[in-house]
Amino acid sequence: MKLYYSPGACSLSVHIALKESGLTFEAIAAPTKTHKLADGTDYYTINPLGYVPLLVLDDGSHLREGPAIVQYIADQVPAKHLAPANGTFARYKLQEWLTFIGTELHKGFSPLFTPGMPEEAKNMAKTRLASRLQWIDGELAKTPYLMGDNFTVADGYLFTVSNWAQYVGIDLSFYPNLLAFRSLVGSRPNVIEAMKAEGLMN
């Protein structure tokens, strides 16, 4: 398998899932600013949408969208318990988390990274994000991970997206349970490996 990623982008969630899975893969940097691979290839020729992540399977099949990719990865290694079994209520709860993180947090950060976005719009986005982060903080007061006592692919996604707060002036110190969660996830060896591989840690 090949993972096309951009350092620190949402593709880090997939990178973490792959490291946690133990599956063999090749990570290929596809910077979102240049869309040029290290060998000069135009990334748009590989993924016409131009964004990451993109997972290319050994048979050449392409899978886009992080929440779909991390579930695919989890299902390849059920013994790792990176996602509950398909068809169970717990699996739908995982999908609920992935959807919430994707639509309420991931997309919520987008205006803060958009060049030329008016300050008023950025402040509105920050206010909305604050309410969502406050709610997550309350949920994390109940369990160490989003789904309970065990790490799942949803945790890797929340860890990835919450990383962005430091770049857009959002203070996470108001959310002690989220900070504890970030420390817990950030100390996992496979998360550290993925971060180092993307140049996000020394």
Give the domain CATH number at 119. 1.20.1050.10
Q: Which pLDDT value is given to residue 202?
A: 79
3-state DSSP call for residue 94?
helix
- CATH number for the domain including 54? 3.40.30.10
The mean per-residue pLDDT over the stretch 166-186 comes to 97
- Kindly report the average pLDDT of the chain as a whole number: 97
> For a pLDDT cut of 90, what percent of the chain falls above it?
98
pLDDT digit string (tens) for 188-199? 999 999 999 999
Residues facing 4 on adjacent strands: 28, 54
The mean per-residue pLDDT over the stretch 55-74 comes to 98
Asked whether 192 and 198 are in contact (CB, 8 A), the reply is no
User: How many domains would you assign to the chain?
Assistant: 2
Residue 35 within any structural domain of the chain: yes
Q: Which pLDDT value is given to residue 63?
A: 98
Which residue segment(s) compose the domain that 52 sits in?
A: 2-81+190-197
pTM for this predicted structure: 0.96
